[in-house]
A = this chain, B = another copy of it.
Amino acid sequence: MDDKILRTTRELIDEVGYPALTVDQVAARAGVGKAAIYRRYTSKAEMAFAATMFEQQLPPLAGTGSLHGDLLELVRAFHVRMATPAARQLAPVLISEIAVNPGLDTRFQETFLAAEQALFADIIEQAVARGELAGTVDPAMAHLLLLGALASALYIINLPVDDAMVTDLVTAATAGITALADRHHSAADGAAEPHAE
């Protein structure tokens, strides 16, 4: 039933757009009760978010053998998903709902956000194993520098974001992650912290 609800939601967003979408339409076309939908999703925005972003699997990532390459591959895949017209319409609504709905915030953190951060943790771990990073870096920080900055650009500042900008963001974040690894791991060795005040 989950699948049917989400597929129908995607179809209706394509046909009528997110603003005109209603939970009633989804229930009617999917042949399920409205109550069944509201047991799964607290609002239209959450249902649409699940349908267009969270439940859509990322294409398998090949792995490129470098931190910069792996991050670029990952962020490009997210950019495609995050920049669709449906995502740009519903993300700001979801942001305002999460802010006033602690249950939704918890669900968002424990599922969507945790899954995203795990992808960064994997990439960082591989870079450490290759010797490209001096040690591990908090994946939440890598996530923030890349998808956090990208979400701000797309959903708060409403900038146009092209591939050159994604590439610059990844170049900057790669250098930033490398600097944090140097800083935290040389500090642990008792060496001077290069960026300490």
Question: Which residues of A come within 8 Å of B, CB atoms?
Answer: 68-69, 72, 88-89, 92-93, 95-96, 98-100, 105, 109, 113, 138, 140-141, 144-145, 147-149, 151-153, 155-159, 165, 168-169, 171-180, 183, 195, 197
What chain B residues lie within 8 Å of A177 (beta carbons)? 172
A175 x B179 contact (CB < 8 A): yes
Q: Which of B69, B152, B165, B179 contacts A152 (CB 8 A)?
A: B152
Bound form: Cα–Cα A151–B180 in Å = 20
In the complex, A58 Cα to B113 Cα: how many Å? 32
Chain B CB within 10 A, most for which of A68, A92, A98, A157:
A157
Question: In the complex the two chains form, is A95's CB within 8 Å of B96's CB?
Answer: yes
Kindly provide the distance from the CB of A68 to the nearest chain B CB, expressed in whole angstroms.
Answer: 5
Is the CB–CB distance between A197 and B72 below 8 Å?
A: yes
A contact face: mostly helix, strand, loop, or mixed: helix
Copies of this polypeptide in the complex: 2
9 A–B contacts from the bound complex (CB under 8 Å): A68-B195, A113-B157, A140-B159, A141-B172, A152-B152, A155-B156, A171-B183, A175-B176, A175-B179
**B172 close to A95 (CB less than 8 A):** no
Give A68 to B153 CA distance when docked, in angstroms: 23
- Whether B156 pairs with A95 at a CB distance below 8 angstroms is yes
Residues of B within 8 A of A171 (CB): 176, 179-180, 183, 195
Known contacts A145-B149, A148-B153, A171-B183; is A96 also within 8 Å of B92 by CB?
yes
With A174-B179, A176-B173, A179-B174 already in contact, the answer to whether A148 and B156 are too (CB < 8 A) is yes
